Amino acid sequence: MAKLESTIDVQEIRKDFPILSQKVHGKNLIYFDNAATTQKPQSVIEAISNYYKTENANIHRGIHSLAEKATHDYEETRKSVKAFLNAKHAEEIIFTRGVTEAINLVANSYGRAFVNEGDEIVISTMEHHSNIVPWQMLCEQRNAKLKVIPINDKGEIIFEEYLKLLSPKVKLVSVVHVSNALGTINPVKEIIEAAHKFNIPVMLDGAQASSHFDIDVQALDCEFYAFSAHKLYGPTGIGALYGKKELLDKMPPYQGGGEMIKDVSFEKTTYNELPYKFEAGTPNIADTVALKAAFEYIEKIGKTNMAAHEDALLKYATEQLLTIDGLRIIGTAEHKVSIASFVIEGVHHQDLAIILDREGIAVRTGHHCTQPLMSRFGILGTTRASFAFYNTFEEIDVFIKALHKAVGMLR
Ligand code: PMP
């Protein structure tokens, strides 16, 4: 296949990411671990350092100028998240450390309020451990049952099987929007519509989806949506949970402490309103402020342009990967993002990763925090190359050459 013409100037874009010009083991860094975390543009790095240089203060309670500035910027990011997800109200956006904390929040708070003995929670086979373990913990506490939607050999949800799991006993469906291990884009709109026929709320794990296409929580009509900034060219340690206001209002606080209260006495505490009810303690202010810079950067490049380049990289990489003897792609769904997961007969992924690293190539190997999914495919793990809009076709050529060499050494 020809290397498709790109709508973006990748060489220009790469200059925005200081880390990409690094050498690793004397070789140009080739960063193909974007599904684990993305690199950060200069504007995000500067936003973090500017915050500490010019406005660091604790938010919401202070009257002084710095506190007001910090509070203003923190709340401005909440408005950007509202716009990013197309939420109806800013108070439907709760800042969390990321997707993991968002799911734990819902499992603990929604779970405590709405899940009882004999109830069921539905997830899928391709969930990240973050969207399995909190539900298992909840089910154990409440004597509820975890039900799992099976997938086919391509790594797609078997929709008829999903429909069979739906019943009034199900109190929540929580599925991944895009699989981190396979790249599968799930038919979430249809999943939500089917669940709503039984009045079942739906949570979407948007860790991988949010960087690849526009998210519109009102159009999806999901009850909860979570993303992590670090997978979106933003800082680590910050992310958000979107929840429908009517539901969040009915849910008890997840953690107790400062900020989430209205009044405290030793006899009784009354809770703050949304979203503060769910934001106990001093939050991650600097990284929240810098998240806005990440949104602005994404907006500047344009998600459609980013996705078009990433799709072209995936097509090219897939075709090239299949030239390697004994290589099998794990995750061949019809609708995929730029994630190529594979196994090679007679080659252990860990050995492969070590050799690739010597060539300056960063890929992920192992179970990708999806052990039940690996078991479904009868494997222990894969090698995963995940591409971002700053990656190039030339990097894929170097990668494929290194793979051929590594396979020759390891077989
Ligand atoms: N779900 C998916 C699909 C992911 O890819 C990840 C990150 N690997 C998570 C959840 C957890 O995200 P975080 O570690 O940012 O909380």
| Inside any domain, residue 3 | no
- CA–centroid distance, 366 to ligand 1, in Å, is 15
The mean of the pLDDT values for the chain is 96
- CA–centroid distance, 226 to ligand 1, in Å, is 10
Please indicate, yes or no, whether residues 310 and 286 belong to a single structural domain of this protein: no
The pair of three-digit structure tokens given for residue 304, joined into one six-digit string: 């459609």
Task: Tell me whether the omega of the peptide bond preceding residue 275 falls within 30 degrees of 0, making it cis.
Answer: yes
Please indicate, yes or no, whether residues 175 and 311 belong to a single structural domain of this protein: no
- CA–centroid distance, 401 to ligand 1, in Å, is 30
Neighbours of 300 (CB within 10 A): 12
| CATH number (domain holding residue 27) | 3.90.1150.10
| Inside any domain, residue 192 | yes
Calculate the alpha carbon distances from 133 to 116, 140, 370 in Å: 18, 10, 11
Tens digits of residue pLDDT in 277-318: 999 999 999 999 999 999 999 999 999 999 999 999 999 999
Report how many domains make up the chain: 2
Please indicate, yes or no, whether residues 317 and 379 belong to a single structural domain of this protein: yes
186 lines ligand 1 (CB under 6 A): no
Tens digits of residue pLDDT in 323-377: 999 999 999 999 999 999 999 999 999 999 999 999 999 999 999 999 999 999 9
Q: Is-contact 121 172, C-beta < 8 A?
A: yes
Taking the CA of residue 205 as reference, the ligand 1 atom at the shortest distance is 1
Largest CA distance in the chain: 71
Taking the CA of residue 236 as reference, the ligand 1 atom at the shortest distance is 15
| CATH number (domain holding residue 197) | 3.40.640.10
| Inside any domain, residue 1 | no
Does the pTM surpass 0.85? The reply is: yes
Among 67, 137, 369, 400, the one annotated catalytic: 369
Last residue of a domain, one of 274, 299, 324: 299
| Inside any domain, residue 38 | no
Please indicate, yes or no, whether residues 93 and 194 belong to a single structural domain of this protein: yes
The pair of three-digit structure tokens given for residue 399, joined into one six-digit string: 């990668």
369 is catalytic: yes
Last residue of a domain, one of 299, 328, 356: 299
Domain that holds residue 88: 45-299
Please indicate, yes or no, whether residues 24 and 67 belong to a single structural domain of this protein: no
Q: What is the dihedral of CA 316, 320, 322, 328, to 10 degrees?
A: -70
Last residue of a domain, one of 234, 264, 299: 299
Please indicate, yes or no, whether residues 107 and 253 belong to a single structural domain of this protein: yes
Please indicate, yes or no, whether residues 85 and 223 belong to a single structural domain of this protein: yes
Q: Which protein residue's CA is at the shortest distance from atom 6 of ligand 1?
A: 207
* Half-sphere exposure at residue 319, Cβ-oriented, CA atoms within 13 angstroms: 11
99 lines ligand 1 (CB under 6 A): yes
Calculate the alpha carbon distances from 36 to 136, 236, 309, 356 in Å: 24, 11, 19, 17
- Mutation to probe ligand 1, out of 37, 95, 96, 99 (largest number of atoms < 8 A from CB): 99
